[in-house]
Amino acid sequence: MHYLSKCQTPLLHQTFFAHRPALAHHVRTLHILIPNSNERHLDSSPEYPTEVLITNLRQLKSITLDGVPLNSSIMNALTLSPHLRSLQILAHRNFPCVHQILNGVFPIETLKISSNSSPVYFSLEDVLRSTAPTLKHLCLQGRIHFDEEIAALYFPRLECLTIDLVSLTVPDLRHFFIRHRASLKEANISCENSDWLMCLSFLLRMIRGAEILDETGQASHQNDQSWGQYFVEDFAYASRDVKFNEDVTHRVVTELALSFSRQVHVNPVMETTEFSKFLLALAMFPHLQVLLLWSDFSTEGVFATFMGHLGGCLSGLPQLKSLILAWDVTATDWADDDRRALLGNHDMNVHGMKHNDDKSCYNDRWVQWETKNYQTAERIFRALFDQCPSLETVDWYPQPPYCIGRTATCWTWRALPSKKRPGNMSSKFVVGDLRWVGGRVEPKMFKFVVGKEAMILSQLSMGIN
């Protein structure tokens, strides 16, 4: 049983389980979410005795304390849950000596730590050392220095690494990847350093374990000159082991996410023909099933041409099923035979309703925009699906999100197989589902993650909504 507590105080939930011990025995996952929490108030107020709730749930395998700063009382309560394997916590200025409690009590396999405080307030390195032997999934978010506290550590069973807004350098990240190559299968990397960039050649070689000549990540390998010089800000990938025969097993990348830097060019406008250049690199990942491309620097030209270049490059990926495209194409026209601006001269507000704009008018504008452009968009996406026979869904963000989370709009396109009529070529039935903020159904949340982390966020968003 999974239990989500979304409230201002967990007192009612403590009473609920205290009087229902049989039900409490079946709870395996606990997520306590306290919106708009104040760290100082939560840490000292008796109105939030979270440890009482935890004490009633002795069969817990996973607990998430979202907005609840960890304290010694909560940690002592967790020691009564011998089956605990997953822990998500908030580190703060009064962070207890967690490593002394974690060490040897239970084998933590998933550890997620977020921090808004300076690292001097707690010893993250000690916490990680105490969990290193059993840790499989490590997620770090916030004011954490990867180079100082994590880079030198070794986690023999680590399979998934997620770093969000953490300070790090390219050489240390590469050496961490090299030491964990035997076990590491997934990574989601987002860095807070404004000067942190690596070229596409360096990144893809690091993921594949190929030869790298430049330690800084700034220079493309000589064999990758046609596409390797483009710079990437954030990236994510997921891989799995594939058995080719009884004696040979290879690790192949099945999911990939790339965020391209606005510093790629002195001129921020990138033509569609140049867009197709770095996509040539995707040919190195023939087992790719999920691809996410994100950039908020402007692309000019014709959207149909842009998508044609994209489809031509993706046609060489025979297993691709899902494409997430968050690319700034607001400055493009629809097609050569339809020179209307994609978003109607920007009359659709990126951030939602305009000033003094009521909800009904805003919704009407989106309905009119969809009606006016549906046939043109359908034709363009049908051509994409024809170029990529394995592709099933495309989540297109016409107005690219500027951060992870809620977005103004998302247009999801699906290809459904249609029956082949005698004498005719088979074709796909293409359906588009446009959603916008304030509409009947909210648009899909944009998530720059792949693999297990993407699944967790999807489950969490469904639970909260």
Inter-CA distances, 301 with 74, 333, 381, 383, Å: 57, 7, 17, 18
User: Is the Cβ–Cβ distance between 199 and 226 less than 8 Å?
Assistant: no
Confidence of residue 239 (pLDDT cuts 50, 70, 90): very high
- pLDDT at position 97 is 58
Inter-CA distances, 150 with 69, 116, 128, 357, 403, Å: 22, 17, 8, 49, 26
Least confident range of 72-76, 103-107, 108-112: 103-107
Its CATH class, for the domain covering 1-134, is alpha beta
Q: What whole-number distance in Å separates Cα of residue 85 and Cα of residue 63?
A: 9
- pLDDT at position 9 is 46
Instruction: Give the rounded percent of residues in the chain with a pLDDT score beyond 70.
Output: 74
Higher pLDDT, 11 or 136: 136
- pLDDT at position 340 is 81
- How is residue 419 annotated by DSSP? P
- pLDDT at position 10 is 46
Q: How many CB atoms lie under 10 A from the CB of residue 259?
A: 18
Confidence of residue 99 (pLDDT cuts 50, 70, 90): low
Q: Where is mean pLDDT largest: 111-120, 160-169, 284-293?
A: 284-293
Mean pLDDT calculated for residue range 136-140: 93
Give the chain's mean pLDDT.
79
- pLDDT at position 353 is 42
Higher pLDDT, 135 or 144: 135
- pLDDT of 46 higher than 90: no
- The H-assigned helical ranges of 346-440 are 359-387
Q: Supply the DSSP string of 144-193, one letter for each residue.
A: -BHHHHTTT---TT--EEEEEEEB--HHHHHHHHHHTTTT--EEEEEE--
- pLDDT of 347 higher than 70: no
Confidence of residue 410 (pLDDT cuts 50, 70, 90): very high
- pLDDT at position 249 is 83
Among 437, 461, 322, which residue's Cα sits nearest to residue 391? Answer: 322
Confidence of residue 461 (pLDDT cuts 50, 70, 90): low
Q: What is the distance between the terminal CA atoms of the chain, rounded to a whole angstrom?
A: 18
- pLDDT at position 388 is 94
- pLDDT at position 120 is 42
User: Is the Cβ–Cβ distance between 293 and 271 less than 8 Å?
Assistant: no
Domain residues of the chain, as ranges?
1-134, 249-255+264-449
- pLDDT of 128 higher than 80: yes
Confidence of residue 365 (pLDDT cuts 50, 70, 90): confident
Least confident range of 114-123, 164-173, 274-283: 114-123
- pLDDT of 442 higher than 60: yes
Record the pTM: 0.85
Identity at 383, one-letter amino acid code: A
Q: What is the pLDDT of residues 250-304, one digit of tens each?
A: 899 999 999 986 544 434 445 556 677 788 899 899 999 999 999 877 777 889 9
Inter-CA distances, 333 with 180, 344, 345, 349, Å: 46, 9, 10, 17
Q: Where is mean pLDDT largest: 264-268, 432-436, 444-448?
A: 432-436
- At residue 259, what are phi and psi to the nearest 5 degrees? -115, 115
- pLDDT of 1 higher than 80: no
Q: Where is mean pLDDT largest: 16-20, 47-51, 322-326?
A: 322-326
- pLDDT at position 150 is 87
Residue 166, both tokens: 């953490």
| Biggest distance spanned by C-alpha atoms of the chain | 76
Q: What is the pLDDT of residues 61-92, one digit of tens each?
A: 888 877 676 677 777 787 778 888 888 877 66
